[in-house]
Amino acid sequence: MPEGLIVKALSGYYYVKPATAQAGAPDDYVQCRGRGIFKKRGESPLVGDRVIYSPTENGEGTVDEILPRETELIRPPIANAKLAVLLFSLREPDLNLQLLDKFLVHIEHAGLRTLICLTKEDLVEEDEPEETPEIISQVKALYESIGYDVIVTSSVTGMGTEEVKSRLAGEISVFSGQSGVGKSSLLNAMLGLSLETSEISLRLGRGRHTTRHVELIELENGGYVADTPGFSQLDFLELGVEELSSCFREFTDYAEGCKFRGCSHLHEPGCKVREAADKGEIAASRYEHYVQFHEEMKEKKRRY
């Protein structure tokens, strides 16, 4: 039976691109239903799943088997993504490092590689040209020192779009971030698409969600991009509080020297992470966000 890739899931149908289909033929897919056995097992095919399907007489098909997944995200629901492209705007809405760190925690927990894209560079240039280099260089230096790749982009001037595109070759990538930061605009600029975009509500400081479902957009370099619904907030329900510190990658080396195993890095004596934060070896904003997330997780645990 033929194999394929689920590129879209909508209204109970799975749109499967056959493995034999020619690259760059976006409409070359088979509309499939899932077998009833999936429901009985409590399984559900996801966008990004590589599947075995059987064609039916009416030109459609049935998804018979889900091949083993390399990764699985709960929100957005997508399988086999390797790279998370986190888009955060420098202006409209203003850069929110706490939310960026929250996304990074979730991506670290999911085991994906991360590319941070700072969007709307042209608006910073416009508002405060004399401050632009300092704002951007500080944020870039902070996250690059932790080990993340950071690219500054503008869908208006084209800055950084080719560099981002080259990072997406040959794999499934997830585009995510705060709503209104320019995900669709950047994809349009990179790929020559016309995805729906919306004006920012300056009163609310965020954009209306313009992406309604998860769908893989095929690139000519062999990659697929998932343009995923924007999130205004994330919760920590799928993450254990004891796993949080491991999602702050710069804590790892220091944590090995802590006096107590399972140190929370909050108040224990002999905590090397807190010591590093006090010395400025760990960025104050990162440690502060760790403490805030820890409290948020404990509060959620008490409620549930």
Q: Which of 293, 301, 298, 296 is nearest to 247 (CA)?
A: 293
Residue with tokens 């549930």: 304
Q: Is 27 annotated as a binding residue?
A: no
**Residue 122 annotated as part of some ligand binding site:** yes
Record the tokens describing residue 158, joined without a space.
């084209």
Three-class HEC string of 85-147: EEEEECCCCCCCHHHHHHHHHHHHHHCCEEEEEEECHHHHHHHCCCCHHHHHHHHHHHHHHHC
Question: 87 Cβ partners below 8 Å, 6+ apart?
Answer: 117, 119, 175, 176, 177, 178, 181, 182, 183, 186
Cβ pair 69, 237 in contact under 8 A:
no
Cis peptide before 76 (omega within 30 of 0): yes
Residue indicated by tokens 């950084």: 160
**How many C-beta atoms lie closer than 10 Å to residue 157's C-beta?**
12
Q: Is 183 annotated as a binding residue?
A: yes
280 is an annotated ligand-binding site residue: no
Q: C-alpha angle 191/195/196, rounded to 5°?
A: 155
Q: Is 22 marked as binding a ligand?
A: no
Q: Is 114 annotated as a binding residue?
A: no
As given in the structure block, the two tokens for residue 185 are 């605009």
180 annotated to bind ligand? yes
202-236: burial string, b at 16+ Cβ within 10 Å, e else: eeeebbeebbeebbbbbbeeebbbbbbebbeeeeb
H and E: helices and strands count for the chain: 9, 15
Q: Is 11 among the annotated ligand-binding positions?
A: no
Confirm or deny that 185 is annotated as ligand binding: yes
Q: For the stretch 49-64, what's the b/e string if a residue is b when 16 or more beta carbons lie within 10 angstroms of its beta carbon? A: bbbbbeeeeeeebbbe
Residue 182 in marked binding region? yes
Which residue ranges make up the annotated binding site for Zn(2+)? Answer: 258, 263, 265, 271
Which residue ranges make up the annotated binding site? Answer: 119-122, 177-185, 258, 263, 265, 271
Which residue ranges make up the annotated binding site for GTP? Answer: 119-122, 177-185
